[in-house]
Amino acid sequence: MGKFYIDCIQKQDEDNMKSKKIIIALVFLAALIPVVTADVIYYYSGSISVSTVSSPLTLAVGPNGIAKGYITTTVPKDGSSFTTTIDITNSSYAYFYQFLEITVISPTVSIFASNISYSYTSPNPIDNAYLVIYSSSGAYETTIQLVNTGKASTGTTTPVALPAGNYYVSLLVQPNTPLPPPSSTSIATISVDLGTNVVSPTTPVPLPPTSEILPPIPPL
């Protein structure tokens, strides 16, 4: 009887040890398995109706927007943007007169510049660059600085009111001399957004970077 009792106690101790080992193993495995959190999502319905409206202004190639070997300007049919290629040389200034035309259709628009960027291959070829706007009658309207001492300008802080009519834009470039040897390869690029706030004319609103407008879509 005594031996049987002892055997039972020993058996029970062995079972307890096995149970503890199993529990420890399960705890260890649980620590290795990543915790999956539940997603709770609320959806709010909305509807957006889209229609079109006349543009408050349009762009066009100016009277001197194309001069072979010096300047080439292109504008799409809808007049919504422009692309200009210029050739500069070792000089104090390069002035590209009336390369772009702006037609203001609304009674008055307030134009401003934002999101100006400037990139170049070494060495930096441009010290300063400006857009100069005149009315078709020759009256000076405003100057917008694009490059300031070799860096992109911050743009305009106060929009400039332009009544309905035609305007010409000239480009003034002050190069950093001496320039690299002549080449067909671009050595610098200037980008600018010309905006007009049709709701609050005195408030310039920069266009957000496209990376913020269209963030990367996460994988499903």
Tens digits of pLDDT across the chain (220 residues): 544 444 545 555 566 666 666 666 666 666 666 656 678 889 999 999 999 999 999 999 999 999 999 999 999 999 999 999 999 999 999 999 999 999 999 999 999 999 999 999 989 999 999 999 999 999 999 999 999 999 999 988 889 999 999 999 999 999 999 999 998 899 999 999 999 988 888 888 777 665 555 555 555 4
Instruction: Determine the Cα–Cα distance for residues 102 and 61; give it in Å rounded to an integer.
Output: 9
132 domain residue, yes or no: yes
Tokens of 60: 């066009």
Distant-in-sequence, close-in-space partners of 52: CB < 8 Å, separation ≥ 6: none
Instruction: Determine the Cα–Cα distance for residues 198 and 93; give it in Å rounded to an integer.
Output: 35
Distant-in-sequence, close-in-space partners of 177: CB < 8 Å, separation ≥ 6: 90, 91
Give pLDDT, residue 139.
96
31 domain residue, yes or no: no
The model carries a pTM of 0.75
Please state whether 213 falls in left (phi above 0), alpha (psi between -120 and 50) or beta: alpha
Tell me which residue range forms the domain holding 83. Answer: 57-200
C-beta separation of 93 from 121 below 8 A? no
Q: How far is CA 132 from the centre of its chain?
A: 24
Intra-chain end-to-end CA distance of the chain, in Å? 68
12 domain residue, yes or no: no
Give pLDDT, residue 197.
85
111 domain residue, yes or no: yes
30 domain residue, yes or no: no
43 domain residue, yes or no: no
206 domain residue, yes or no: no
What is the DSSP pairing of strand 126-135 with strand 83-86? unpaired
CATH assignment at residue 158 = 2.60.120
Give pLDDT, residue 5.
47
C-beta separation of 167 from 104 below 8 A? yes
11 domain residue, yes or no: no
Instruction: Determine the Cα–Cα distance for residues 103 and 89; give it in Å rounded to an integer.
Output: 31
Query: What is the count of structural domains for the chain?
Result: 1
